[in-house]
Amino acid sequence: MWSEFKKFIMRGNVLDLAIGVIIGGAFGAIVQSLVKDVIMPPIGLLLGKVDFAGLFINLSGTKYATLAAAQEAGAATINYGLFINTVINFLIVGFVVFLVVKQINRMKKPEAVAEPTTKPCPFCFTDIPKAATRCPNCTSQL
């Protein structure tokens, strides 16, 4: 059983997947910082000094000045500002992945397309060799 597990783990696909997950986690932290520390402050400033991370709807009926205070008190809240930040994170990650895949596909060599070796018979529509002068199925002269 140990040897089967070792063989499974040492396969290239498993290692590639593990490396991708680790790099993806680090990349997610970078994007989260980009959104939280670089993108959202100017957007908040343009919209009248709004901090999206602090936007929430209090469902408990008690008044709280900040989201942190409401969470500390255990109040039920809808944190739509954090949701907006998460959506922006997702859009940035999706766009960057799109750009990376697009560049990788551009760098790949186009695969050679094999020349067809058959052609359809114009009378019975069966596939026949390209060099044939008579169809072996319907015996029509080509």
* Domain residue limits, the chain: 2-108, 115-142
- What integer pLDDT is reported at residue 14 of this predicted model? 73
| CATH code of the domain made up of 2-108 | 1.10.1200.120
DSSP letters, 120-132, are E-TTT--EEETT-
Are the C-beta atoms of 118 and 127 separated by less than 8 Å?
A: yes
Give counts: helices (H), strands (E), the chain: 5, 4
Give the whole-angstrom CA distance, residue 44 versus residue 35: 12
Buried b / exposed e along 48-66 (16+ C-beta atoms within 10 A): eeeebbebbeeeeeeebee
Are the C-beta atoms of 53 and 44 separated by less than 8 Å?
A: no
- What integer pLDDT is reported at residue 131 of this predicted model? 86
Q: Which residue has the tokens 């695969």?
A: 111
- What integer pLDDT is reported at residue 31 of this predicted model? 80
- What integer pLDDT is reported at residue 12 of this predicted model? 64
- What integer pLDDT is reported at residue 13 of this predicted model? 75
pLDDT along the chain (142 residues), means of 10: 78 76 85 81 79 82 86 88 85 82 83 84 88 86 81
Tell me the pTM.
Answer: 0.55
